[in-house]
Structure 1
Amino acid sequence: MKFDFAIVIIAVSMLGIGLERCDCKMVQFIFGDSLSDVGNNIYLSKSLAQASLPWYGIDMGNGLPNGRFSNGRTVADIIGDNMGLPRPPAFLDPSLTEDVILENGVNYASGGGGILNETGSFFIQRFSLYKQIELFEGTQELIRSKIGKVEAEKFFQEARYVVALGSNDFINNYLMPLYSDSWTYNDETFMDYLVGTLQDQLKVLHGLGARQLMVFGLGPMGCIPLQRVLSTSGNCQEKTNKLALNFNKASSKVVNDLGKQLPNSSYRFGDAYDVVNNVISNPSKYGFENADSPCCSFGRIRPALTCIPASKLCKDRSKYVFWDEYHPSDKANEMIATELIKKFGFKRVDQTQSSSPSPELAPSPTSDD
């Protein structure tokens, strides 16, 4: 009997067969920036991209900062809730364990992060998409050691994946003279570099088991309050918006092509530009009164960049599209999520599991830190 048991242990070690059987749930793995960050940057002590001070999180839970760059929920929170998916915790959350991952998935999103490694370098610490993918590989090792290679492969292939980055690659890289990319490339060559890098990253994710994946494009990032206040007119910066539209066009083609080329893949592109643009262009239609300035601001001193305890809040947060200079308010995220659910036909996972798989995912929208 002892000899037989030893053989079993050896087989487990060599073949990756788990001693535990996994009755795994459908979960999400989210790769993103500050629009999807649920607390990773809080644990990056040297990062300058932080949502760790009041009044962030004032309208969520206990009202204390929780790492989200808003007064409340992210779009991913809201869509995931509507789909019956668990909210993935931050990768750096100290309470994260193998059991938590199997129950909830993981969120690797990091404020200031981009598709390119050099993006957001002046924030000092942040996770680029390549770094997030590296962390995901570590997650896979943990799960394989927990449930074995076969069950782990099934778990990761049945999961949903969201990739939502790109705004920082423009706003906190190409459009800032402090970054070498701003003078190394022109609009066309930078777009080729950026989208080509994204294509390589999506191939890596497929190799790691990502079969049902949605990539979200950019919204009118030239209309965020920071871009408006930096313009001479106070209007949206159309050059920046054009870059967003060109990125969406190029990355949409890449995602669609990969969906045809990569085996057993269901890859989709989520173009949220028109959804967010409609809310910004016609705020009263959606119940808003202000779509060009932040609810949380430092009086007349602008741009204040982040919301801090000394900042003043607008009288009614539900009437403002933007919470700070970069990010939508909870109410705007709710409106954007509702419109995205309509546009992409997201369904509850308990309504899709019995049918052929499709990437019913929880996305993040557009403008960024």
Structure 2
Amino acid sequence: MEINFAVVILILVIAITNAPSSASLVTFIFGDSLAEVGNNNYLQLSLAKSNFPFYGIDFAGGKATGRFTNGRTVGDIISAKLGIPSPPSYLSISEDDDALLKGANYASGGAGILNETGLYFIQTLSFHDQINKFQRTKESIKAKIGEGPANKLCNEAVYIIGIGSNDYVNNFLQPYLADALQYTHDEFVELLISTLGEQLTRLYQLGARKMVFHGLGPLGCIPAQRAKSSKGECLSQVNLWVQTFNSKVQNLIVNLNSHYYPSAQLKFADTYPAVLDLIEKPTAYGFKVSNTSCCNVDSRVGGLCLPNSKLCSNHNEYVFWDAFHPSDAANVVLADHFFNVVFSNSPPPIPLPLHLQFLVKLTHFCRYIITQKVFFFK
């Protein structure tokens, strides 16, 4: 008896019903100001804040939320693509809030891999601090749903990590700070990698199994670094250092995957080429300006977009919002690239949510069954 189309449809419906939904995806985000959504608002002494105009001018409601851009972060945009809410800032919710079951954002402006990075902001959450906060999150989840389900949730969650920019921009590249005075770059990058390895290991021990570390972009080309050049050009030495860091992180992740984390899936998302291409060829992406920021800032006094700053007339024409951070429009481009690298094996022009990717594959399988005249019953 040949299987008929009605049976195929029934199989398809059952499979879709039981397919993993992107709405059930839990994400935990770690990082710096590129990913922050408001943690520093709750750090009373922190000088690394963006909860004032003109930050957030193009965000929903037009209000500053603590995001260091005019609109959304890359994390916000990726969450929307996955069909899930953007994880809230950890410090904005109580430890017994059910929202923690869907994930949290621990990112903090000024934070680095090293605890001493960003000290002149007085108060930030270093990567070490963020991991401590995640440990408290896991304990809260255990208390809420039990140890077994909590371990399962943490094992199946996706951990997105973007950290290291401040270790350069607000540490090693500042000639008056201790790390710049006592280390060569070779020594400094080895310190970063060894510290990062310990931090990723700790996350693994806390249950993280699906970690994505996105590398650094060409920091030598951000407006704050260009301002150090007499001609406003990219600083090639800084970019070379960043590429060395990225390469060593890739090697670290390969080593951890091969020898230490057999049950984990660590992935390195190389964002450097995409960001550099966006900066070097802005018109190819619909931008006009990539060598300076939309918000007219003074990088000598912090480089942030203050309420008395002058803005460009069209925010979508600029790659950078201030001296350090991309605009909302640029974040859309970067999120598309990141999403394709991390969540799609062969990405379509408009990436599909995970459950729809599953549906497409299942449809191809069922079409194969029909066309090849597969017999389930004789």
TM-score when normalising by structure 2 = 0.84
Tell me the distance in 2 between the aligned counterparts of 1:265 and 1:138.
Answer: 22
Matched with 1:59 is 58
Matched with 1:88 is 87
- Between structure 1 and structure 2, the one with the greater Rg is 2
Matched with 1:366 is none
Tell me the distance in 2 between the aligned counterparts of 1:311 and 1:269.
Answer: 37
- Counting only pairs closer than 5 Å after superposition, residues 209-248 of structure 1 correspond to structure 2 as 209-248=207-246
Three-state SS of the structure 2 residue aligned to 1:92 is helix
Please say if residues 30 and 130 of structure 2, whose CA atoms lie closer than 8 Å, have aligned partners that are also in contact. yes
Matched with 1:348 is 353
Matched with 2:175 is 177
Q: CA deviation at 1:85?
A: 3.0
Unaligned runs of 5+ in 1: 1-23, 355-369
Three-state SS of the structure 1 residue aligned to 2:104 is strand
- Counting only pairs closer than 5 Å after superposition, residues 280-359 of structure 1 correspond to structure 2 as 280-298=279-297, 305-346=303-344, 348-351=353-356
Tell me the distance in 1 between the aligned counterparts of 2:25 and 2:341.
Answer: 23
* AA in 2 matched with 1:65: A
Three-state SS of the structure 2 residue aligned to 1:62 is helix
Q: CA deviation at 1:173?
A: 0.5
Tell me the distance in 2 between the aligned counterparts of 1:101 and 1:75.
Answer: 20
Give yes or no for the alignment of 1:31 onto 2:30. yes
Q: CA deviation at 1:303?
A: 5.8
Please say if residues 275 and 340 of structure 1, whose CA atoms lie closer than 8 Å, have aligned partners that are also in contact. no
Tell me the distance in 1 between the aligned counterparts of 2:95 and 2:269.
Answer: 29
**Aligned sequence identity (%):** 43
Matched with 1:157 is 155
Q: Deviations over 1:212-234 (max 9, x none)?
A: 11111001010000000122221
Tell me the distance in 2 between the aligned counterparts of 1:286 and 1:258.
Answer: 36
Tell me the distance in 1 between the aligned counterparts of 2:268 and 2:312.
Answer: 35
Three-state SS of the structure 1 residue aligned to 2:190 is helix
Tell me the distance in 2 between the aligned counterparts of 1:87 and 1:301.
Answer: 30
Matched with 2:250 is 252
Unaligned runs of 5+ in 2: 1-22, 345-351, 360-378
TM-score when normalising by structure 1 = 0.86
| Residue 125 to residue 304, structure 1, CA distance change in 2 (3 Å) | closer
- Counting only pairs closer than 5 Å after superposition, residues 84-123 of structure 1 correspond to structure 2 as 84-94=83-93, 97-102=96-101, 104-123=102-121
* AA in 2 matched with 1:314: C
Tell me the distance in 2 between the aligned counterparts of 1:30 and 1:139.
Answer: 13
Matched with 2:371 is none
Please say if residues 269 and 341 of structure 2, whose CA atoms lie closer than 8 Å, have aligned partners that are also in contact. no
| Residue 321 to residue 96, structure 1, CA distance change in 2 (3 Å) | farther
